Amino acid sequence: AQSVAQPEDQVNVAEGNPLTVKCTYSVSGNPYLFWYVQYPNRGLQFLLKYITGDNLVKGSYGFEAEFNKSQTSFHLKKPSALVSDSALYFCAVRDKGSNTGKLIFGQGTTLQVKP
Amino acid sequence: NAGVTQTPKFQVLKTGQSMTLQCAQDMNHEYMSWYRQDPGMGLRLIHYSVGAGITDQGEVPNGYNVSRSTTEDFPLRLLSAAPSQTSVYFCASSRSGTAPSGNTIYFGEGSWLTVV
């Protein structure tokens, strides 16, 4: 079965420090991977995606993610965290096991950036 | 650009009542879908549509109906609300198809529904 795992419920980082939010996946074949961010009482905003090509993907708000096929990981990174980055982050993969077109989401990781 | 627009944002219903969550997108996307978000369960697909006049069930369709009379609109109907339907509902859309693709799925702002 296809799945996405975010092993950390919460990540705490000081403002100005680099941040990493981890994601691993289990998908047959080549995955289509996505990161979304959700602010309190708001919808999911698309950050970036990996389809093919360069393993380092750059996205919105200075975020980037590194696709690692051998480790089946797609970690989200940012060189210098901002307090405003505090939010809930979801990793997702496009389902290849059905014809629904759905996204399979990880459980989410709360990022807390402290001043 | 409006993107995906959902209404209402907040709603309280009594058990047994019916209601419709509205969803509209202005990106001419063929694919639209509804998810619900519950603590510990993540986001689960309720229904989806690949174009006007075509709808199908997702993972958790019971208690919900959808229709797709136009490309832009994809309303979700709760037939007889139950406390188990207390959740946050998200409408989403993307360019064509259900075949796995790299097309980005865009989400609305969400509708917070409480059934008492």
Distance CA B9, CA B21 (A): 9
In tens, the pLDDT along A16-53 reads: 999 999 999 998 888 899 999 999 888 899 999 998 88
Kindly determine whether residue B58 and residue A105, on different chains, have CB atoms separated by under 8 Å.
no
* Shortest CA gap A41–chain B (Å): 8
Give me the residue from A41, A44, A100 closest to B98, CB to CB: A100
The answer to whether B44 touches B84, Cβ cutoff 8 Å, is no
pLDDT in tens, A41-87: 888 999 999 988 899 999 999 999 999 999 999 999 999 999 999 99
Residue B92 DSSP label: E
Helices and strands in chain B: count of H runs, count of E runs: 0, 11
Q: Which of B35, B45, B95, B113 to probe the A interface (max A CBs under 10 A)? A: B45
Confidence band of A102 (pLDDT split at 50, 70, 90): confident
Each residue's pLDDT expressed in tens, for chain B with a length of 116 residues = 579 999 999 999 999 999 999 999 999 999 999 999 998 778 999 999 999 999 999 999 999 999 999 999 999 999 999 999 999 999 999 987 666 677 889 999 999 999 99
Chain B hits for A52, CB-CB cut-off 8 Å, are: 102
For residues B11 and B9, what is the distance between their CA atoms, to the nearest angstrom? Answer: 7
pLDDT at A5 over 80: yes
Q: Which residues of B34-47 are buried (b: 16+ CB within 10 A; e: fewer)?
A: bbbbeeeebbbbbb
What is the pLDDT confidence band of residue A114, given thresholds at 50, 70 and 90? very high
List CB contacts of A101: < 8 A, sequence separation 6 or more: A94, A95, B31, B33, B48, B50, B94, B97, B98, B99, B100
pLDDT for res A72: 95
Pick from B95, B97, B94, B96: which is nearest to B106 by CA?
Answer: B94
Confidence tier at A105 by pLDDT (50, 70, 90): very high
Distance (Å, rounded) from C-alpha B34 to C-alpha B23? 9
Distance from CA of B26 to the nearest CA of A (A): 17
Tokens coding A107:
């459980």
